[in-house]
Amino acid sequence: MIRRAARSGRDVAVLLDDFGHRLPAVPAPPRAARDRGPFAELVPRRGPRGCGRGRAATPAPLSVWRMTSEQAPVVWPLIATSGLPPTGAQMGIDLLSGGAFYCDPVGWVTDEAIPVTNPNVVVFGKPGRGKSATVKAFALRMLGYGYRTLVLGDTKDEYEPLCRALGVEPFVVGPGLPARVNPLAFGPLGHGWDALDAAEARRREAVVFARWLVLIRGLVGSQAVPFGPVEETAVGEALRLLTGYRTAATRLTEPTIPRLWRALDEPPDELVACCRYADRRHFLDATRLLRDALGALVKGSLAGLFDDHTTVAVDWRAPIQSLSLSRLEPLGDSAVGIALTCLNSWGQAMREIADPGDLRIVIRDETWRQMRLGPEAMKSLDANLRLSRRDADVQMLLAHKPSDMLTAGDAASQAVAIARDLLHLCDVKVLHGQDQAVGDELGASLGLTPIAQRVVTGWAVAGKGRALWLVGDRAFQVQTVLTAPELRLTYTNEALTGGPA
């Protein structure tokens, strides 16, 4: 020891100690408790050792990329976007973030941070991929937030179990059945007409007549008959005459489509004069096509369904209302399309005076049937979607693929242009599984990136309820999770399996 001390010499502390000075000792650093973190032990690259523990004989090749966070989304465009707030219906799991996925279209519109300007939702997917089930689960889960649901045309009667579970008996419309719906109903705007001041009556008249004209134009247009200013004047004046508006009646009479047709077919002199025709013959010649188109509808597709005053008493405070249309199936696609157009107008009428906070989900399953009727039918749908912001309605359109909507006309036609616009009126798009060919189409019409397309044509095809949700420009890879009762209520395979779930 002494030798060692002699070799190293005295250090400063010992030297100062000889002179009676004590240097303060340096406190020993506290021993930091080791932060174990979420990973207790490192897993070797080839996986943990042991039987059945996932050990790979050869390690997976690693490719190393180095880039800035600004460049990363270009290479991996479907990288998880910032999440959505947990409001509205909890739909399932967002597989990109691993968190729960919530759907709240109206909430998204009111949130500045989310790039959504309208609450409309369009759902695409191959048949049987779970489009209807997703929408039903959404409607059911939004009930708790005060939303009511209106199913405008249930062409397969598949919403019936859901309605009955909520204690509501759906209306059944079909040939030979007593239920009638008048698409030319006044709706709530007609209430208390006699007490209205002139300005308000004029305003309401404009709204009601505009809606009627859109409907008649859609119906006549579905017969491939042009509907120009001549037809518009004739129909407008006939409706004014029928309702008593022209004679300034305090109580307006509700028109029906057969009455309108009769008024045009056997025009009173007053109508001929209002439309500025020299005589009856002149009027009849000018409106022949229009009259024949309406006549064909009155005797054909509309007969016994939409040709009289509404007989169903709809309880608008009920949690759900649905009109089952499967009985129309034997009458053909165009009959179903016409029924949907009529219901569209009727449903719109019922929403014309919506109380603030009266929130609705309007479901239009199998929308393509209406689209096929042509540009005019499409325009009436378009008008509804534009109004959804005002009415705080969540409009949900269900279709197989975007080109279904484009079948209304040839590529350069007005119908196709409207159909394209319709897609842009739906800021939320839910894309269920699709075949490869449709995937390319989605790329072209919705601007999907190749990686997003692969999610739709690959991952989403592999399971029911899997979908790519596009909320504005953000993408979410979502698996909708149904509870056991919901699975029973959404079961649509009876015809295939021969029994309920």
Q: Is 351 in the site for ligand ADP (CB under 6 A)?
A: no
To the nearest whole angstrom, how small is the minimum distance from the Cβ of residue 126 to ligand ADP? Answer: 7
CB of 341 to Mg ion, least distance (A): 20
Interaction partner, residue 491 (ligand ADP, Mg ion, none; CB < 5-8 Å by kind): ligand ADP
The nearer residue to ligand ADP, 156 or 246, going by C-beta atoms, is: 156
Q: CB burial class (10 A; 0-12, 13-18, 19+) of residue 329? A: middle
Which range binds ligand ADP by CB under 6 A, 78-86, 126-134, 164-172, 336-344? 126-134
* Nearer Cβ to ligand ADP (193/469): 469
Binding of ligand ADP by 14 (CB under 6 A):
no
Nearer to ligand ADP, 156 or 180 (CB): 156
Q: Which stretch binds ligand ADP (CB under 6 A): 12-20, 210-218, 344-352, 490-498?
A: 490-498
Which residue is nearest to ligand ADP, using beta carbons? 465
CB nearer ligand ADP, residue 211 or residue 466: 466
- Under the binding rule (CB under 6 A), the answer on residue 133 touching ligand ADP is yes
Does 434 contact ligand ADP by CB under 6 A?
no
Token pair in block for residue 490: 């959404």
Stretch 447-476: interaction string toward ligand ADP, x if CB under 6 A = -----------------xx-----------
Within 13 Å and on the Cβ side, how many CA atoms surround 250?
A: 5
Say if CB 226 and CB 289 are below 8 A apart: yes
Would you count residue 127 as binding ligand ADP (CB under 6 A)? yes
Least distance (Å) between residue 447 CB and Mg ion: 26
Euclidean distance between CA atoms 181 and 293, whole angstroms: 20
Total number of residues shown for the chain:
501
The two tokens of residue 276 are 């500025």
Query: Closest approach of Cβ 367 to Mg ion, in Å?
Result: 11
Which range binds Mg ion by CB under 5 A, 130-138, 201-209, 216-224, 239-247?
130-138
Please work out the total of residues on this chain that contact ligand ADP, with binding judged by CB under 6 A: 17
Angle, to 10 degrees, between the axis of helix 229-243 and the axis of helix 198-221?
A: 130
- Cα separation of 447 and 218, whole Å? 30
Q: Which 3 state secondary structure label does DSSP give 28? A: coil
Give whichever of 135 and 257 is closer to Mg ion, judged by the CB atom. 135
Which of the choices ligand ADP, Mg ion, none does residue 130 contact, using the CB cut-off of 5 to 8 A by kind? ligand ADP
DSSP string, 113-164: TS------EEEE--TTSSHHHHHHHHHHHHGGGT-EEEEEEETTSTTHHHHH
Listing from the earlier edge strand, what are the strands of the sheet with 148-154?
100-103, 89-94, 474-480, 466-471, 428-432, 121-124, 393-399, 360-364, 148-154, 320-324, 171-172
CA 88 to CA 101: how far, in whole Å? 10
Q: Which is nearer to ligand ADP, 452 or 482 (CB)?
A: 482
In the list ligand ADP, Mg ion, none, the entry touching 394 (Cβ below 5 to 8 angstroms by class) is none
377 lies in the binding site for ligand ADP (CB under 6 A): no
With CB under 5 to 8 Å by kind, the binding choice for 487 among ligand ADP, Mg ion, none is: ligand ADP
- Selected from 120, 132, 301, 457, the binder of ligand ADP by CB under 6 A is 132
Q: What one-character-per-residue DSSP string does 201-218 give?
A: HHHHHHHHHHHHHHHHHH
Residue 243: C-alpha distances to residues 136, 250, 254, 255, 402 (Å): 39, 10, 6, 6, 40
Distance CA(100)–CA(450), nearest Å, equals: 25
Residue selected from 118, 132, 134, 324 as contacting Mg ion according to rule CB under 5 A: 132
Hey, what are 73's tokens? Answer: 């989304």
Question: Closest CB to ligand ADP among 124 and 193?
Answer: 124
With CB under 5 to 8 Å by kind, the binding choice for 255 among Mg ion, ligand ADP, none is none
Position 131 contacts ligand ADP (CB under 6 A): yes
Residue carrying the six token digits 């709530």: 188
Rounded Cα gap, residues 482 and 162, in angstroms: 14
Give which of 12, 110, 138 is closest to 490, Cα–Cα: 138
**Residue 103, interface with ligand ADP (CB under 6 A)?**
no
Nearer to Mg ion, 183 or 465 (CB): 465
Quickly tell me which residue has 């047709």 as its tokens. Answer: 261
Contacting positions for ligand ADP (CB under 6 A): 125, 127-133, 464-465, 480, 482, 487, 490-493
Residues forming the site for Mg ion (CB under 5 A): 132
